[in-house]
Chains A and B, each alone.
Chain A
Amino acid sequence: MKNDLRPIKFLKGGIFVASLLPLAWLAGQFLFGDLGANPIQKALHCTGDWALNFLLITLTITPLRRLTGWEWLSKLRRMMGLFAFCYAFLHFMIYIGLDQFFSWDAMVKDFVVHPRLIVGLLSFILLIPPTITSSTRMIVRLGIKRWQWVHRPIYLAAIGGVIHYFWLVKRDIQRPLIYAAILGILLAYRVVMWVVNRLRARPSAL
């Protein structure tokens, strides 16, 4: 048993460090003044990209585990989800503190007129309950059914994140399209599995 878990621990450690690399890169570039002509925007885009990347990685873990039978993958899901939240949080903080420099009235005006920002904020808020309840203790406390229910908003957050990106770009929608396509596949998988499970659960209905 112990021998089984050790490689997973190493893997987890490695992936933890790797997940910090975008942040380290950003911090390094920032310190050396290497973020280009519009550094704040670059930091915004980088953290936004990685929030979305980690969200999609999180949503990939279950299908991948089912398809490959690699049960150990489930050990990584929580960490990926937490990184998604961390990068989304950084993204939001950079927006408030650096991009807008705490001009609250300007931000309010911005939000009222631009649905893109509202969608982004809602997606971030939707990530808060799953983050708070991510610990094993919380699973026990809430019970698996309720816990699952608290974690469903992740799907909505991912959809919102992709829309938030889509509405940002002026004309070249290639990258948001890639995100949308991947998310579409991941969601379609859930729908198919749900239908299959329904049918299996009630064989008499067939």
Chain B
Amino acid sequence: MLVKREPDIKSSEITDKALYINRRQFIISTAALVGFGLQVPEFLYSSEERPRQKLAATIRGKYTVDEKTTSYKNATNYNNFYEFSTRKEDIEALTKNFRPRPWTVLVDGHVKKSKKYDVDELIKMFSLEERISRFRCVEAWSMVVPWLGFPMADFIKRVEPISKAKYVEFTTLHDPSQMPGQRSRILDWPYVEGLRMDEAAHPLTFLAVGMYDEVLPNQNGAPIRLVVPWKYGFKSIKSIVRIRFLEQMPTTSWVKAIPREYGFYANVNPKVDHPRWSQARERRLGEFRKRKTKIFNGYADQVAHLYTGMDLRKFY
């Protein structure tokens, strides 16, 4: 507006068209491969720009909530993904050329099966589950999303952490050439999140690779993201490249950035306000009236025991 800004993407960094077309080919072939494991493939092209791939679950999870899901449009148009921009409605366009394949996830730290996994190899290790869960952003808006993926607990069983592992640390891709937001120092990149071991192994904690019966859209954290429904959205880290098992509590990105406002636990709690806005209520995307926020985002029966004896005001 008033200040002249550098264009977000230098022309030298725009992907060559041939490569881009190949990428689509690549996705299709990969999906066909994955299809064997997931009994997928059927392709939906919503537009020339973005192939939308169908993905089907084999299990309907018992942790699913019986609530009206947010529209696909709202869930894919209103995203916090600071790696691309701080403006939620710009993310969809900015992630158009993001390449979620080929992709590897490094699993390391105090774990027996330490390895760099190809993401499709990783996904094939589990049967896909559909799970509808609530998602509550710290900015007091919320959604209900039908995710596809597998429980983090199953993943943990497969990679066999040793007893020294007390925490799990997750890291997002750091690639400023693909993620223009990483060229500004809004956060200390790469983005890091973490969970206590018992939180990570809780059956509600989920690794999502799809939503709305489709492969996870780029703006929602493709190819693989975390979903921790009883915590504020920023805990549910996107586009994961590393999962590390640690003895010490990791320093997560928002805690590092503003320790006074963000804590490691970040459990949804209407009684503990963010210093600058209230957490007592929230607006579901697509709804007019605000609704009351529930402790642990309505999952208190399942998770409250994880925090018995802890002062939730202190450990926010």
Contacts and interface: CB of A to CB of B under 8 A. Distances in A.
- Are the chains A and B members of one assembly? yes
B283 to A, nearest CB: 7
Contacts of A202: none
A114 interface: yes
Nearest to A115: B276
B283 A38 contact: yes
B290 interface: yes
Contacts of A170: 86, 139
Contacts of A113: 273, 278
Given A170-B139, A171-B86, A171-B258, A36 B186 contact: no
A72 interface: no
A104 to B, nearest CB: 14
Contacts, number: 58
Given A101-B289, A110-B278, A178 B77 contact: no
Contact of A37 (B258, B277, B286, B288): B286
A12 interface: no
Contacts of B278: 106, 109-110, 113-114
Given A100-B290, A170-B139, A171-B257, A38 B280 contact: no
B74 A106 contact: no
Interface in B1-18: 1-3
B299 interface: no
Given A171-B82, A178-B3, A37 B285 contact: yes
Interface string B264-303: 0000000001001110110101101110000000000000
A98 B289 CA distance: 8
A178 B2 CA distance: 8
A38 B290 contact: no
Interface residues of A, number: 23
- A113, A116, A167 — which one has the most chain B CB atoms within 10 A of its CB? A113
B89 A36 contact: yes
Nearest to A36: B89
Nearest to B281: A106
A99 B288 CA distance: 8
B219 to A, nearest CB: 12
A21 B228 CA distance: 43
Interface in A3-37: 36-37
A172 B86 contact: yes
B141 interface: yes
Interface in A134-181: 167-168, 170-172, 178
Contacts of B74: 37
Nearest to B76: A37
Given A37-B78, A38-B283, A170-B139, A116 B276 contact: yes
Contacts of B184: 172
Contacts of B141: 38, 41
B187 interface: yes
Interface in B67-105: 73-74, 77-78, 82, 86, 88-89
A172 B84 CA distance: 12
A137 B290 CA distance: 45
A186 to B, nearest CB: 13
Interface string A83-119: 0000000000000001111010010011001101000
B26 to A, nearest CB: 31
A103 B292 CA distance: 12
Contacts of B1: 178
Contacts of B78: 36-38
A37 B276 contact: no
A43 to B, nearest CB: 12
A116 B139 CA distance: 15
A171 B187 contact: yes
Contacts of B73: 37
A135 B143 CA distance: 49
Top 4 A-B residue pairs of the complex, sorted by shortest distance between their CB atoms = A37-B78, A172-B86, A37-B74, A37-B285
23 contacts: A36-B77, A36-B89, A37-B73, A37-B78, A37-B286, A38-B283, A41-B141, A41-B283, A99-B290, A101-B289, A101-B290, A103-B290, A106-B280, A106-B281, A110-B278, A113-B273, A114-B277, A167-B276, A168-B276, A170-B86, A171-B86, A171-B186, A178-B2
Interface of B: 1-3, 73-74, 77-78, 82, 86, 88-89, 139, 141, 184, 186-187, 257-258, 273, 276-278, 280-281, 283, 285-286, 288-290
Given A37-B286, A113-B273, A168-B276, 11 more contacts: A36-B89, A37-B74, A38-B141, A40-B288, A101-B288, A106-B280, A109-B280, A113-B278, A116-B277, A170-B86, A178-B3
